[in-house]
Every structure is written in C-alpha cells, then in structure tokens.
Amino acid sequence: MTDRYADILDYIRSIRLVSSHNHHLNDGLYEGIGLRFLLENSYVGWVKMPPDFEDAEAWDGYLKRYGTNSFFRWLFTALEKIYGIPVRPDTVAELDRAVRRAYSDPEHHLRLLREDCRYDAVINERQPHPGDDLGHPELFRPSFRCDCFFSGWLADKPEPNGFFARSLFEREVLSVRDYLDQMRSAIEKKKAEGCVALKVAIAYERPIVFENTDLAAAEKALNNPQASESDVIAFGDVVMHEIAEIAADTGLPLQIHTGTGQYEKTNPIGLLGLIKAHPNTKFHLLHGGFPWVDDTYALLLATPNVWSDTCWIPYLSTHAARDYLLTALEVADTHRLTWGCDTWMPEDSVGALMAMEQVLASTLNGMINDGAIDFSYACYIAKRILSDNAKELFAL
Ligand SMILES: [Zn+2]
C-alpha cells in the first residue's frame, strides 16, 4: 500500500478549474457584507441561523450541534483558511470584523473565485436575471434557467423568483405551438447573447417525470386560470420535451437539478423516458440525484448522452461523495463527470472546492491502492473532472 494522497492533492491544487454550476451574485450584493450576512445567506443558514456574536454560550451549543454537518464543516474550514481566524465562540466577533474589512474592497468576491478557487470559467445561473453574465463575461458563462416556461401557462404567473416567460416573448400566445415557438426563439436569442447551457430546476416545484407529449392535453392549461393540476403537469411535460429538443438543435447542454427539491419523484430515474426520447441532447444531471445516487448510476449505464455533475455532493455529504465518485467512475468513464461549487457566497465556493479536493484525492488514492489506476492516470482523471470535461461539454 502506498499513500499518494498528499501528492494527488498537490497536483489538484496546481490546476486551474472550470466550475460547471454556480449561482454567483452581482457585484453590488457583496458590498460591505459581514459574517452575519454571509452565514445567513449560505447553506449553513438553510440549516440553522447563527446566534448573536456576543452570546458565547449559544455559539458553543450551535457549533456542538451542527459541527458534523458537511455545510458547516467546510464553510468554517474555508473561513479559517481565507481570514486566518478559526470559528469559535470567542472569535466570531473578530472574524466578523475581518470579513467586513475584506469586503470593503469591491474586488474581494471575484478574487476569491479567481485566486482561491483558481476558476478560469464559471457556468453561472443567476436568478431573477436568467442569462446574466454579471458584467464579467471573461469569467461568468451563463446557463439560461428555463423554469419560467413551466409557469408561463398563465401570462401573469412568474416562476418562483419572479421572472415572467412573457418578458421574453414577442407577441401574445394563442396556442401551445405558438408558445413553444416563442420559447425556442427566446432560447436561441439567449445563446446568441452568450449563454453556454440551459438549466431546469423544476424539481423544486414538481416531479421530474415528463410523460405527456400531446399538445392537445397541454392546450387545456394555456391561458386558463381554471386549469387543473394535471393540465398544468401536461403543459410542463410538453415544455420540457421541447426544451430538450431545442438543447439538441442548439448544441447547448441541458442542466437538470435532480434529487432534492420537493422530494417527491425528484429522483433521477424519472428522467429515463425523456433522455431516451432525445438521444441527441446532452443531459447534464446535477448533484448525482443525491440522496438517490443509485439512479444516476443507472442513467450513466443506460444512456450515453448523460453527464453527471458532482456539484453539491461533497458539500451535502463528504462521505457519500467518495462512494459516488468511485462508483460513477467504475460504471461510466472519465469523460462524463464534472464538478461545480453550486454556491452564491464566495466563502462557500472555497469550502465546496476544499471538500471536493479532499474527496477527489482520497478516492483516487484509494483507486491506486486497489490497483485500478496509477498516479499519472489519477492526475489525468482529476484534470478531466475539474476542467477538461466541462471545457468540452460547454464548448469553452
Ligand atoms: Zn444550483
């Protein structure tokens, strides 16, 4: 048994990356922020809002209770790395001052991405401004979020972030065919403006099973405030199939959020019919469908037009991510896996990358010890996953 863990980690830290999935915000939203804003707007804040910085006892309880959670572990590791201050009940006030000082420089958030994360390109998806490059087109390559087209069965119904499909249309829509044609024009225009992918995160609102391809069934929902739930689902099914077809025609990879969300039929295998119906579409499935990762193994095995994005998995469960990466490499190949940090707070980006570096180095080291690969092949695999596969997939 040899231990090449440290050597692999050194190699990983020497390469520049393409993050295949992010939600980075506009410059102005980071201006002058402190530790409280950062924590409340990170994944840590999704789990539990932080106590008052002056309340050491509450902080002690907070850290003891949530210290095992992967979001906490890696964000706090990143904070210590960036600001040189460990997260402890007696240091949070000092850390807050350090964060505020750093963010008094408007370039700080971009420096964390370019230097700490070593990103050359970021496939970014920014709501409620789908397709926005945040004014930094050299770094951010937008993925156009298409969720508005699912809620557009009514003209005055926005997607949950407040964006209206009709804002992209050129005329009134009177039929589903007309709706789909205008959707196609809107997507083609986004591609011409620089979008390199399409994104669907509809698992937060409905199951990701898309069975209806009949326009007549979808017609019942269009412009009909009395439409039943099943009419709306039928409408969304048709929209999804058309998006998949447009993705094939434009060559844009179609990113689909899988796994969490509304947790009812949001496991990846529900996509099998859609994927098989569109063999020329590049399906870029996000998060391995965690916690239903076995489903993604099935899709990697069954369909050559599936890529698996490992974004978020090391941040959700570092342990599960090691198993995931190893099994996905074994059932698929080295060219269909990518990684992105999937964050909007840059400290989370740094934490997510540190988690992935550890997962990748330990997985590849285990494969060397198992006799599956040697060190130079391990380096090849790491660079494929962190950079080359995304460059090819998104034609960067
Ligand atoms: Zn995301």
270 close to 239: Cβ distance less than 8 angstroms: no
Q: Is the pLDDT of residue 129 over 80?
A: yes
Whole-number Å distance, alpha carbon 320 to ligand 1 midpoint, is 18
Q: What is the band of 264 on the pLDDT scale with cuts at 50, 70, 90?
A: very high
pLDDT score at 1: 60
Return the pLDDT at 14. Answer: 98
Rounded to the nearest angstrom, the distance between the alpha carbon of 81 and the centre of ligand 1 is: 24
Class of domain 108-393: alpha beta
The rounded Å distance from CA 220 to ligand 1 centre is 32
Ligand 1 centroid distance, CA of 173 (Å): 31
Mean residue pLDDT across the chain: 97
Ligand 1: centre distance to CA 127 (Å): 11
Q: How far is the CA of 200 from the centre of ligand 1 (A)?
A: 10
Q: What is the mean pLDDT of residues 101-110?
A: 98
C-alpha 389/C-alpha 113 separation (Å) is 20
How far, in Å, is the centroid of ligand 1 from the Cα of 42?
12
370 Cα to the center of ligand 1, angstroms: 33
pLDDT digits (tens, 9 = 90+) for 206-263: 999 999 999 999 999 999 999 999 999 999 999 999 999 999 999 999 999 999 999 9
Residue 130: what pLDDT?
86
- The set of residues, in sequence order, having a beta carbon less than 8 Å from that of 6 and lying 6+ positions away, is none
Mean pLDDT of 128-135: 89
**Spacing, Cα 203 to ligand 1 middle (Å):** 12
Widest pairwise Cα distance in the chain: 68
Distance 226 CA to ligand 1 centre (A): 32
The distance in angstroms from the start CA to the end CA of the chain is 39
Q: How far is the CA of 342 from the centre of ligand 1 (A)?
A: 5
Question: Measured between alpha carbons, how far is 247 from 60 in angstroms, rounded to an integer?
Answer: 50
Q: Helix or strand or coil: residue 101?
A: helix
What are 84-102's pLDDT values in tens digits? Answer: 999 999 999 999 999 999 9
> Can you tell me the distance from the alpha carbon of 59 to that of 90, in angstroms, rounded to the nearest whole number?
9
CB-based burial label for 114 (10 Å; 0-12, 13-18, 19+): middle
pLDDT tens per residue, range 53-67: 999 999 999 999 999
Sequential DSSP letters for 339-392: -----SSHHHHHHHHHHHHHHHHHHHHHHHHTTS--HHHHHHHHHIIIIIHHHH
CATH 3.20.20.140 region(s) of the chain? 108-393
Task: With beta carbons less than 8 A apart as the criterion, state whether 381 and 339 touch.
Answer: no
State pLDDT tens for residues 266-299: 999 999 999 999 999 999 999 999 999 999 999 9
Q: Alpha-carbon distance 369 to 372, whole Å?
A: 8
The owner of tokens 């789909």 is 180
CA 327 to ligand 1 centroid distance, Å: 23
Q: How far is the CA of 23 from the centre of ligand 1 (A)?
A: 6
Tell me the β-bridge partners of 198.
144, 254
Ligand 1 center–CA 215 separation, angstroms: 30
